[in-house]
Amino acid sequence: MTFDDDVEKAIAVACEELEMTRDELIRLIIREWMEQYGFLPFHELDEGSETKGNA
């Protein structure tokens, strides 16, 4: 999947900053959007859970 040039650049910058692959970042963005709009149930992180990157 490709996006407009400005979106592709923003994705590349976010991937570098968050130390995520492009696919991981896109999955995260879609999941968070779907949770925010009620299409998926919201899951809070547990204090003791392991997370990749900065959570």
SS3 of residue 23 by DSSP: helix
pLDDT in tens, 16-41: 999 999 999 999 999 999 999 999 99
CB 32 within 8 A of CB 41: no
Tell me what the mean pLDDT of segment 1-9 comes to. Answer: 96
This prediction's pTM: 0.71
Give the CA angle between residues 32, 46, 39 to the nearest 5°: 25
Give the Cα separation of 41 and 34 in Å (integer).
8
